[in-house]
Amino acid sequence: MKIRLALAAACMMALSAQAIANPQRTAILDRFAAEAKQQDKAFSAFSAERGKALFMDKHTGGKPEFPACASCHTSDPKSSGQTKAGKEIPPMAVSKTPTRFTDPAEVEKWFGRNCNQVLGRDCTASEKGDFITFLISQ
């Protein structure tokens, strides 16, 4: 019985580790980390907490139509969102959509568009890293 449980736990850990430890995603995070350190000497590590706040909180500065990232991605990262034009957006949580944050051009493009829409400015490298770290934890 104990052995079975341990095996099941090991399998699950292996699965989630596979979802998380994706070399492209790691490279993207590493690049954001390097940039963040350049911008702010005090930077130590990304925080899922801060990422969660960025995802959920209502912001000002952007378009009143989209006060939060959750406006399109919904406040549950594990469920599907909807674009302004009405198409489904697959969940942002890496556990649900394993291909999330693996294509550097896609990541740059959407951070560029969406931070501008919601915050009215570009996101900083540490905000981007926090955001991804939060969604890896989901």
Which spans of this chain sit near other proteins (rule: CB under 8 A)? 63, 65, 82-88, 105, 109, 112-114, 116-117
Strand partners, 82: 88
For residue 60, the SS3 value is: coil
Distances (CA, A) of 50 to 4, 64, 85, 132: 37, 22, 29, 11
At residue 81, what are phi and psi to the nearest 5 degrees? Answer: -105, -165
Q: Which does 131 bind (CB under 5 to 8 A by kind): ligand HEC, other proteins, none?
A: ligand HEC
| 87-106 binders of ligand HEC (CB under 6 A) | 89-90, 100-101, 106
Q: How far apart are CA 138 and CA 135, in angstroms?
A: 5
Q: Which does 88 bind (CB under 5 to 8 A by kind): other proteins, ligand HEC, none?
A: other proteins
Residues making contact with ligand HEC (CB under 6 A): 66, 69, 71-73, 83-85, 89-90, 100-101, 106-107, 110-111, 114-115, 117-119, 131
